Structures are given as C-alpha cells and as structure tokens.
Copies of this chain bind each other. A is one copy, B any other.
Amino acid sequence: MRILITGAAGMIGRKLTAQLLVDGHLNGKKIAELHLHDIVDAAVVGAHSHVSDLAAAGSAAGLVHIKPDVIFYLAGVVSGEAEANFELGYRVNLDGTRQLFDAIRVAQISPRVVFTSSIAVFGAPFPDVIPDEFHLTPLTSYGTQKMMGEALLADYTRRGFFDGVGIRLPTICVRPGKPNKAASGFFSGIIREPLAGLPAILPVPRDVVHTHASPRSAVNFLIHAAGLDGNSIGPRRNFTLPGVGVSVQEQIDALGRVAGAKAVGLIEERPDATIWAIVKNWPTRFNAKRARDLGFVAERNFDEIIQAHIEDSTK
C-alpha cells in the first residue's frame, strides 16, 4: 500500500499523516510507503517528502511516478485567499487539480482518489435543511473551483482513469494553532482563543447557523472515504458529509458549559463586512443522508466538538 497526501503540510494533512503513521495500515493493508506533497516541506519521520507546485507543467507527472494506491488530495488555497487573489485561486484550485488528475490518467495507475471538497460549493438561498440533490451555486471563487474539481473527479472516475470519492467537508472546528486566511476562521477562533485564556473576535451575527466537524472527524472521514467500495457509491461521486449544525450562539453556549462564563466573556463582537459578505451566503444545515448511509459519522453536538479539541490539543 503506497499512499500520497497532497497539501500534506496543512492542518488536516498533518493530522492525517500522524494517524496513518500510528495506524501503520490503511484499508486493512500495511502501509509500505507514505508520500507527503506540498509547496513547502512537509517532512515527517517515516514518510517521504516532495516539494513542488502541482499546477506547474510536469510537476504532477513526476509525483504520480510513485504509483500510489490511494491519493488524499488536500491541496488548495483557502476561501479567503481564493477570493482575494483571483488568478492564484484558479491556478492552484482548478489547474492544480486538473494537472494531477491528468497525470494519473496518462500514467494509467487508477488509484483511489479522495478529493476534499467543501460546503462552499453551495450558495444562498437555501432550504432549512439542504438535501443531497440540491444544486451547486457557489458564491465564492473557492466554491466554484471546488465544484469544478468535483465535476472532473466524477467524469475521470466514470471514464475509469481512477476511482474517485469527493467529500464535502463541513467547516473544521476547532482548528488548532494560529488563524489562517479562511473566512471561516472565526468559528474556531471564538472557541480556541477563550479556551487558552485569550480574547477572540466574532465578526458575524450570533444567529448565523453553520455545520461543523472536528479535525478528528475530518481524519476519520478521509480514512473512511479511502476504504469505500467504489461500486456501492455509484456514479454520483461527490456528496456532503455529516456534521453538527449550530448557531454561533449555540457554539458560545457550549463554550460556556465546558469552560465557564469567563471564557465566554473573552469573545468580542466586531462586525467585519468582508467576512460577512462571504459567510452570509454559506449554507446552514445538511441532510447528508448519502454520506451517513455510506458510514460517515460525525460528532452529535457542539460540546463533543469542544471536548475533542481539548483532548487533541493536550495529548
């Protein structure tokens, strides 16, 4: 079993790498080689590191020479960055994806490809609960690029070039470490910072409802997606994952239950028009029936998400 992770230096990539190294196997098979790729060195003891720009000509072809059985495709620039830098977003999120998919096609290696899409493929207005058959009308360039990646994944799978699974991750919360440029960063910040005794900014109204899953769940989703039977999925290769749909106020209430009123008091409301312009068009709750039927499991409530953060950040 040879595994390739692209975007391995990112938060999810590092957690997935750590989990695979602990497990030592994937889909019941021993991991013989674990290859990490990113535009910066994602070096970890026990894995091979590859540094290149996937969108550059020839880069992806070089990478698929290692003939991975499973590729976790996590590479990409985040929503805020893709919105701020139009050309960079399309270059990395669309051209990079296509270069990798085409390199796989030409190399005829037919791996399982787990593609991380996003709920940013959806755009307002929405029904209260978004069903699996709801159309994709993204209102960000990031969401557009993910939608196009999904389309390619499904067609390349149908053509038999590889065996793809596209999973629309909910917002990952609580993200550890420093804030990144994702417009969704505050959803984590208002929990992570107060838990560490630090102030946090809330840039959107408290009645914003959004769907979350922990980093731990994200890793579980990826590993579960790697092991799915392709025939049981059928031709609709992209679907929305389950998560915890809560309002910002419900997030804050959970923080209060777990960490007390003092932590809650560290949250300062400071409306940000740029973030609001993006977040107001984001989806709220999902049915995610297909993913649940395929065995994907998330947290049951936001208290569990906070507990997962506390456990994972102290171990």
Contact = CB atoms under 8 A, between A and B. Distances in A.
A282 to B, nearest CB: 14
Interface stretch (A60-68, A131-139, A189-197): A131-139
B138 A135 contact: no
Interface string A56-95: 0000000000000000000000000000001000000000
Nearest to A236: B137
A52 B141 CA distance: 29
Contacts of A136: 135-136, 151
A159 B135 contact: no
Interface residues of A, number: 22
A273 to B, nearest CB: 17
A158 B135 contact: no
B155 A151 contact: no
Contacts of A151: 136, 138, 144, 147-148, 151
A176 to B, nearest CB: 31
In the complex, which of the residues A132, A135, A136, A139 has the most CB atoms of chain B within 10 Å of its own CB atom? A135
Given A86-B159, A155-B144, A235 B135 contact: no
A154 interface: yes
B135 A155 contact: no
A275 interface: no
Nearest to A147: B151
Interface string A145-166: 0011001101100110000000
A111 interface: no
B235 A123 contact: yes
A181 B133 CA distance: 31
Contact of A141 (B132, B148, B155): B155
A144 B138 CA distance: 17
Given A136-B136, A137-B236, A148-B148, 18 more contacts: A123-B235, A123-B236, A132-B135, A133-B134, A133-B135, A136-B151, A137-B154, A137-B235, A138-B151, A138-B154, A138-B155, A139-B158, A141-B155, A141-B159, A144-B151, A147-B151, A148-B151, A148-B152
Closest 9 CB pairs of A and B: A144-B155, A135-B135, A148-B148, A144-B151, A137-B236, A147-B151, A133-B135, A148-B151, A141-B155
